[in-house]
Structure 1
Amino acid sequence: MTSQNRRGLITGTLAGAGLAAGGMIFGQPTAALAASEGLVVITPSGDPTGVTDHAAIQDALSEVNRQVLLSAGEFRINQPIVVRSNQRLIGAGAQATKIIQVGTGHGITSVSSSAINYVTIAGLSLIGQYVPTDTPPADGPSGIHLAPGPAEGPSNITIEDCVVKNWGDCGVHLTAVIASRITRVQSVKNGGNGFYVTKTATAAATSLSFEACYVLGNRKNGYELDYVSYSTLNACAVDGGLRGYALYNCSAVTLTSCGAEVFTDVGFLLRNSRGCSLFSPYTFKGAKTGIHIGASTVNVTIGGAVQSDPASATVPALTNFIVSEAGSSAVLWGVTRTSPNALAGKTTNLDGTA
Structure 2
Amino acid sequence: MIEPSGDRTGATDHAAIQAALAQVNAQVLLSPGEFVIDEPIVMRSNQRLIGAGAQATKVTQVGAGDGITSISSSAINYVTIAGLSLIGQYVATDPPPAGGPSGIRLAPGPAEGPSNITIEDCVVRGWGDCGVHLTAVIASRISRVQSMKNGGDGFYVTKTTTAAATSLAFEACYALGNRKNGFELDYVSYSTLNACAADGGLRGYALYNCSAVTLTSCGTEVFTEAGFLLRNSRGCSLFSPYTFKGAKTGIHIGASTVNVTIGGAVQSDPASSAVPSLTNFLVAEAGSSAVVWGMTRTSPNALAGKVTNLDGTA
TM tier, smaller: over 0.9
The structure with higher relative contact order (CA 8 Å, sep 6+) is: 2
Residue number in structure 1 paired with 2:253:
293
Aligned-partner Cα distance in 2 for 1:319–1:178: 37
CA RMSD of aligned residues (A): 0.9
Render the CA deviation track for 1:143-171: whole Å, top value 9, x for unaligned.
Answer: 00000000100000000000000000000
Contact map agreement 1:280 1:303 (CA 8 A) in 2: yes
Residue number in structure 1 paired with 2:23:
63
Residue 268 (structure 1) aligned with residue 228 (structure 2): yes
Aligned-partner Cα distance in 2 for 1:221–1:275: 22
Residue 150 (structure 1) aligned with residue 97 (structure 2): no
Unaligned stretches of 5+ residues in structure 2: none
TM-score normalised per structure 1: 0.87
Instruction: Tell which structure's C-alpha radius of gyration is larger.
Output: 1
Which of 203, 227, 232 matches 2:192? 232
Distance 1:119 1:135, change over 3 A: closer
Residue 137 of structure 1 deviates from its aligned partner by 4.6
Aligned-partner Cα distance in 1 for 2:134–2:275: 33
Residue number in structure 1 paired with 2:303:
343
Aligned-partner Cα distance in 1 for 2:95–2:306: 43
Residue 136 (structure 1) aligned with residue 136 (structure 2): no
Which of 188, 195, 219 matches 1:259? 219
Residue number in structure 2 paired with 1:114:
74
Residue number in structure 2 paired with 1:190:
150
Matches of residues 42-191 of structure 1 in structure 2 within 5 Å?
Answer: 42-130=2-90, 131-133=92-94, 136-138=97-99, 140-191=100-151
Residue 204 of structure 1 deviates from its aligned partner by 1.3
Residue 316 of structure 1 deviates from its aligned partner by 2.2
Matches of residues 303-342 of structure 1 in structure 2 within 5 Å?
Answer: 303-342=263-302
Render the CA deviation track for 1:103-153: whole Å, top value 9, x for unaligned.
Answer: 010000000000000000000000001244466253x10000000000100
The structure with the greater share of residues assigned to strand is 2
Q: Which amino acid aligns with 2:168?
A: L
Q: Which amino acid aligns with 1:89?
A: L
Aligned-partner Cα distance in 1 for 2:223–2:88: 24
Residue number in structure 1 paired with 2:183:
223
Contact map agreement 1:187 1:195 (CA 8 A) in 2: yes
Residue number in structure 2 paired with 1:213:
173
Aligned length: 313
Contact map agreement 1:132 1:190 (CA 8 A) in 2: no
Percent same amino acid at aligned positions? 85
Q: Which amino acid aligns with 1:64?
A: V
Q: Which amino acid aligns with 2:47?
A: Q
Aligned-partner Cα distance in 2 for 1:315–1:126: 30
TM-score normalised per structure 2: 0.98
Stretch moving more, 71-80 or 313-322: 313-322
Q: Which amino acid aligns with 1:189?
A: K
Render the CA deviation track for 1:170-199: whole Å, top value 9, x for unaligned.
Answer: 000000000000000000000000000001
Contact map agreement 2:27 2:49 (CA 8 A) in 1: yes
Stretch moving more, 94-103 or 125-134: 125-134
Q: Which amino acid aligns with 1:215?
A: A
After the TM superposition, list the runs of 4 or more consecutive aligned residues in structure 1 that deviate by more than 3 angstroms: 131-135
Aligned-partner Cα distance in 2 for 1:44–1:133: 28
Residue 17 of structure 2 aligns to a residue whose secondary structure is helix
The structure with the greater share of residues assigned to helix is 1
